[in-house]
Amino acid sequence: MSLKCRLKVKAVDNLTVGRYFAALGAEWLGFCFDESSPNFVSPQTVSEIIPWLAGPQMVAEFGAQQADAIHQICNELSIKRIETSLAIGEGLAAASYEQIFQRMKLEDFKKLHDTASAIRASKHATTIFILDLEESLNHKSDLDEQSCELLASLCKEQQVLISIKPSIELADYLLENVAPLGLEISAGKEQATGLRAFEDVDPLMEWLELD
């Protein structure tokens, strides 16, 4: 299935979630191996999920973990795409990963200029940036004209995914006015252990679907 934009889904933690987004055309599925995160999923669990998924590329999400831990898990699971929130040092940049995602969280749009400068300074070591606006962007009115122009300029220069809440309003506005490489959303909210409801993401996924 084709979507209006490229889509990464973060914090996948069970097969039901993986199959849901794979069937709907997500390009990347992320699995969180950061033990300090509430979204942590064990390598053993992921090893049981991946063989049943076809289509998306798998991304190992590590937060602030160091290179040794990243290499160990990726070697065990044969994952060639990683995500980190740290500046990318030689240990990662020199490794044979097909894509390196660097997450940058923006909590206040007053700091957008500094974040944009940091992204431009890191471009030599990163394939794709994830600009995390999930907490700072609730409505399109939160993004003033100047910030929108800066984001649009940045997305012309660099490959940037923008992480947002699963909102049609936000997705439509960003795709029309900022034109990022794509979007990132979280997997559906947990309904019970190992189970998730998709009511919060269904409308956006239907809207993203191309006729």
Lowest model confidence (mean pLDDT) among 32-36, 139-143, 197-201? 197-201
Q: Check residue 192 and give its pLDDT.
A: 57
Q: How far apart are CA 132 and CA 163, in angstroms?
A: 5
Q: Check residue 62 and give its pLDDT.
A: 96
- What percentage of the chain carries pLDDT values higher than 70? 93
Q: Check residue 119 and give its pLDDT.
A: 87
Name the residue with higher pLDDT: 138 or 119: 138
Q: How far apart are CA 40 and CA 62, in angstroms?
A: 9
Name the residue with higher pLDDT: 32 or 125: 32
- What are the tens digits of pLDDT across the range 45-79? 999 999 999 999 999 999 999 999 999 999 999 99
Question: What domains sit in the chain, N to C, each tagged with a CATH number?
Answer: 6-208 (3.20.20.70)
**Is residue 161 within 8 Å of 6, Cβ to Cβ?**
yes
Q: Check residue 198 and give its pLDDT.
A: 85
pLDDT of 193 above 60? no
Cβ atoms within 10 A of the Cβ of 83, count?
A: 26
Q: Check residue 189 and give its pLDDT.
A: 61
Please tell me the pTM assigned to this model.
Answer: 0.93
Q: How far apart are CA 104 and CA 87, in angstroms?
A: 10
Q: How far apart are CA 87 and CA 92, in angstroms?
A: 10
Using 50, 70 and 90 to split pLDDT, how confident is the model at 90? Answer: low
- What are the tens digits of pLDDT across the range 127-169? 899 999 999 999 999 999 999 999 999 999 999 999 999 999 9
Q: Check residue 86 and give its pLDDT.
A: 87
- What are the tens digits of pLDDT across the range 166-188? 999 999 999 999 999 999 999 86
CA distances from 40 to 31, 35, 141 (A): 8, 5, 33
CA distances from 116 to 98, 111, 143, 151 (A): 24, 9, 15, 8
Pick from 4, 60, 6, 1: which is nearest to 184 by CA? 6
Q: How far apart are CA 165 and CA 35, in angstroms?
A: 23
Using 50, 70 and 90 to split pLDDT, how confident is the model at 196? Answer: low
Torsion of CA 56, 61, 66, 70, to 10 degrees: -40
